[in-house]
Chain A
Amino acid sequence: GAGVSQSPSNKVTEKGKDVELRCDPISGHTALYWYRQSLGQGLEFLIYFQGNSAPDKSGLPSDRFSAERTGGSVSTLTIQRTQQEDSAVYLCASSPPGRDEQYFGPGTRLTVT
């Protein structure tokens, strides 16, 4: 079956511009996560959605970052007024109900020039 998909795969943007990153989780997965991976680093948790519950936004680094999940499926991560330190690979993952292992998408590589 189809895995987690993310778009775009690469995004180059100028400092100060807004960007939107999209994640399509595996069908039937109720949990969705966003992470950020900077060069040579481990993953940094950003936000977690579970069904209709309020998301856990505790990992968002600043109020320039926001995310939403429409209809319990597709999610969009928005970064406003991008800064160079936002350059990273943004990874999305999803989990099936009642399971803790996470299935990751290929990521979006964001470069802020």
Chain B
Amino acid sequence: SQQGEEDPQALSIQEGENATMNCSYKTSINNLQWYRQNSGRGLVHLILIRSNEREKHSGRLRVTLDTSKKSSSLLITASRAADTASYFCATDKWGYKLSFGAGTTVTVRA
């Protein structure tokens, strides 16, 4: 069963704008990770945030984690056409066996 649930299901933005998507989960976690999947290709790991961390940055990506609300957000700043993809959050309890949500599909318009 899916642990994470992304919101919104789909997002369309103009190039240069920021994109924000959220992930909620049900049970306590060890880590939360975000992955990107381009059409027809495998998943690429973007960022991992541990349960004792609140915010993490990587390039144009910013991830927050609120364990009291069991939620996380992924912000992509200054979006580009290449950011068009599906984004998945994944949680784990013991460092493996990731539980993925159904994903947010992001379309960046030129």
Chain A residues packing against B (C-beta within 8 Å) = 4, 31, 33, 35, 40-45, 48, 50, 56, 58-59, 91, 93, 95, 100-107
Which stretch (B14-22, B38-46, B64-72) binds chain A? B38-46
Contacts of A40 in B (CB 8 A): 102
Q: B4: shortest Cβ distance to chain A, in Å?
A: 7
**Given A91-B42, A105-B42; A100-B99 close (CB under 8 Å):** no
Of chain A, the residue at the smallest CB distance from B2 is A42
Contacts of A101 in B (CB 8 A): 33, 45, 48
**Given A56-B97, A100-B95; A42-B41 close (CB under 8 Å):** no
Total number of residue pairs linking A and B with CB closer than 8 Å: 59
In the bound complex, do residue A42 and residue B45 qualify as a contact, i.e. CB atoms below 8 Å apart?
no
Q: Complex Cα distance A81/B92, Å?
A: 31
In the bound complex, do residue B92 and residue A41 qualify as a contact, i.e. CB atoms below 8 Å apart?
no
**Given A100-B48, A107-B42; A43-B98 close (CB under 8 Å):** yes
In the bound complex, do residue A56 and residue B42 qualify as a contact, i.e. CB atoms below 8 Å apart?
no
In the bound complex, do residue A100 and residue B92 qualify as a contact, i.e. CB atoms below 8 Å apart?
yes
In the bound complex, do residue A41 and residue B45 qualify as a contact, i.e. CB atoms below 8 Å apart?
no
In the bound complex, do residue B43 and residue A45 qualify as a contact, i.e. CB atoms below 8 Å apart?
no
Known: A100-B96, A101-B45, A104-B44. 4 other contacts (CB 8 A): A45-B97, A56-B97, A100-B33, A103-B45
In the bound complex, do residue A104 and residue B31 qualify as a contact, i.e. CB atoms below 8 Å apart?
no
**Given A42-B100, A56-B97; A104-B42 close (CB under 8 Å):** yes
Of chain A, the residue at the smallest CB distance from B35 is A104
Contacts of B96 in A (CB 8 A): 31, 33, 48, 50, 56, 95, 100
In the bound complex, do residue B92 and residue A42 qualify as a contact, i.e. CB atoms below 8 Å apart?
no
Contacts of B101 in A (CB 8 A): 42
**B76-110 interface with A by 8 A CB criterion:** 88, 90, 92, 95-103
Q: Complex Cα distance A33/B99, Å?
A: 12
In the bound complex, do residue A100 and residue B31 qualify as a contact, i.e. CB atoms below 8 Å apart?
yes
